[in-house]
């Protein structure tokens, strides 16, 4: 059997075993070149207010750089701050708990003294009075629990006021550049009104279309090489190579042209790539680990 396999390999070359359904074996995959790809932004957001109010500040101007999670705009929040200060004081007040514990100690001591008196002189303290003292002691314990519960409610009210105060502030969801300022300090805004537009140009997307005949040669994680291809001009930047990886393959096929949309994420070196430009993209099959292939083939066998 071994001699037969070796003879076949000599005559016809290496035997390529099939992989799982819908997947082309790495040895059969080939580079694919796409034209008229579009350069697009990945991170672009229009920041809006979560509530209506008057803008207290709008810090960055168009072209300014902002950092992730840093405040870029905020509404007038004097009332919200005053509310937070009040409920914070209430959340720090444990006087009721301390008083209830003292009262519980007194009630417990009164009950113990009455019981001790009856041990010395039976009937010295009437049974009805013992019952009242016992009830008072139990009530004092419940009052401690009630005071602790009230303090917990105050702490929750403080957290709620703190969360509400944060809705008066608009922060950048990622580091980037401000490209548009829609509102300025002193202007009124409604809930959802746009205030700033921020984009991140460090990562960029190259989007293209693969012919249906080649789509099974493309896999998530494949390396790509991208070159700008700007019509009617000859620029030095068109000779620059940008590298990245395929991160998306559409599940639908365009019915007319029978193409599948794909895109790759690229590192935007020195900010040379700009959204809206056209480019050429070469998709390179990912190099496979021979050990992994051998293991999978043995499993399938």
On whether the CB atoms of residues 243 and 237 are closer than 8 A, the answer is: no
What pLDDT, on the 0 to 100 scale, is given for residue 123? Answer: 86
On whether the CB atoms of residues 66 and 172 are closer than 8 A, the answer is: yes
What pLDDT, on the 0 to 100 scale, is given for residue 13? Answer: 45
What pLDDT, on the 0 to 100 scale, is given for residue 140? Answer: 92
Sites in the chain below the pLDDT cut of 50: 2-21, 288-301
Distance between CA atoms of residues 90 and 153, nearest Å:
10
What is the CB-side half-sphere exposure of residue 259 using CA atoms within 13 A? Answer: 11
Q: Which residues of 264-283 are buried (b: 16+ CB within 10 A; e: fewer)?
A: bbbebeeeebeeebebbbeb
First to last CA, the chain: 16
Give Cα 128 distance to the centre of its chain: 65
* DSSP conformational letter for 298: H
Distance between CA atoms of residues 221 and 226, nearest Å:
15
> Global pTM?
0.66
What pLDDT, on the 0 to 100 scale, is given for residue 164? Answer: 95
Chain segment 147-165, per-residue pLDDT in tens: 999 999 999 999 999 999 9
Please, which contacts does 294-298 make with residues 24 or more away whose CB atoms are closer than 8 Å?
296/19, 297/17
Distance between CA atoms of residues 294 and 192, nearest Å:
56
């Amino acid at each position: 059997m071994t001699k037969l396999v070796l003879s076949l390999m000599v005559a016809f070359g290496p035997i390529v075993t099939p992989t799982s359904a819908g997947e082309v074996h790495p040895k059969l995959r080939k580079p694919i070149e796409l034209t008229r790809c579009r350069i697009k932004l990945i991170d672009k957001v229009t920041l809006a207010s979560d509530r209506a109010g008057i803008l207290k500040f709008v810090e960055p101007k168009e072209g300014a750089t902002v950092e992730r999670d840093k405040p870029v705009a905020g509404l007038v929040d004097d009332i919200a701050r005053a509310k937070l200060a009040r409920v914070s004081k209430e959340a720090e007040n444990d006087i009721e708990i301390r008083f209830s514990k003292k009262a519980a100690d007194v009630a417990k001591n009164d009950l113990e003294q009455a019981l001790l008196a009856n041990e010395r002189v039976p009937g010295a303290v009437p049974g009805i009075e013992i019952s009242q003292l016992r009830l008072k002691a139990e009530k004092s314990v419940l009052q401690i629990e009630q005071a602790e519960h009230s303090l917990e409610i105050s702490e929750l009210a403080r957290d709620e006021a703190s969360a509400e105060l944060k809705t008066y502030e608009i922060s950048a969801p990622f580091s980037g550049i401000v490209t548009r300022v829609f509102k300025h300090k002193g202007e009124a805004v409604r809930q959802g009104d746009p205030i700033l537009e921020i984009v991140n140009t460090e990562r960029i997307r190259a989007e293209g279309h693969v012919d249906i005949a080649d789509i099974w040669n493309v896999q998530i994680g494949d390396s790509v090489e991208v070159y700008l291809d700007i019509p009617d001009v000859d620029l030095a930047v068109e000779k620059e190579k940008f590298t990245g990886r395929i991160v998306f393959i559409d599940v639908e096929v365009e019915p007319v042209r029978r193409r599948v949309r794909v895109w790759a994420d690229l590192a935007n070196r020195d900010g040379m790539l700009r959204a809206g430009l056209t480019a050429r993209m070469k998709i390179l099959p990912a190099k496979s680990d021979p050990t992994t292939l051998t293991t999978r083939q043995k499993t399938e066998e």
